[in-house]
């Protein structure tokens, strides 16, 4: 059976317009920007259409964290307002970030197998010159860096 998060592969070549959440807590170390949040939403323009990917988390019976990804037509749970006759259909509230390099060059998912199930724990988006790494947990961590994430689990999929 095809996992729901595998459909994320179809955004390859699209533009990451931004990441938003009702609250984004930001910090910066020497080279990276680190954001901690709950239920962030990626908004992506692909083939002229904006789609939203809500990122959430779950926990196995053994207390291992994993990512839940859901493609949707609105930016929920982020607060938003609908504008019918506008270039952007939704005006987003809350917090948001944009990156300069927008084209999604590669998408990789990392995680682990547990019996018959496969769990996605880390999502890595490679843009033109930066990497965006999203790690599972009750508070999700989003790292924007010039280098790929360290200490990645097993590869589950890659484009």
Domain residue ranges in the chain: 4-158
How far apart CA 98 and CA 33 sit, in angstroms, is 12
- CA dihedral (140, 144, 148, 149) in degrees, to 10, reads -30
- H helix or E strand, kind and range, residue 52: strand 49-59
Tell me, yes or no, if the pTM score tops 0.75.
yes
- Length reported for the chain: 159
Look at residue 98 in the predicted model and tell me its pLDDT.
Answer: 87
Report for 1-10, 59-68, 90-99: range of highest mean pLDDT: 59-68
Average pLDDT value for the chain: 88
SS3 content of the chain, % helix, strand, coil (to 5): 5, 55, 40
Strand partners, 20: 41, 96
| Residues 18-29: tens digit of each pLDDT | 999 999 999 999
């Amino acid at each position: 059976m095809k996992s729901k998060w595998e459909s994320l592969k179809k955004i390859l070549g699209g533009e990451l317009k931004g990441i938003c959440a009702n609250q984004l807590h930001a910090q910066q170390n020497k080279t990276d920007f680190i954001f901690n949040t709950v239920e962030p939403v990626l908004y992506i323009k692909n083939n002229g259409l904006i789609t939203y990917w809500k990122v959430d988390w779950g926990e196995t019976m053994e207390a291992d964290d994993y990512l839940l990804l859901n493609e949707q037509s609105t930016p929920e749970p982020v607060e938003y307002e609908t504008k019918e006759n506008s270039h952007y259909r939704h005006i987003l509230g809350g917090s948001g970030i944009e990156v300069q390099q927008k084209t999604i060059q590669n998408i990789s998912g990392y995680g682990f197998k547990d019996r018959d199930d496969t769990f996605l724990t880390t999502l890595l988006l490679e843009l033109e010159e930066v990497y965006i790494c999203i790690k599972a947990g009750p508070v999700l961590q989003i790292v924007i860096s010039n280098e790929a994430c360290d200490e990645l689990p097993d590869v589950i999929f890659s484009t």
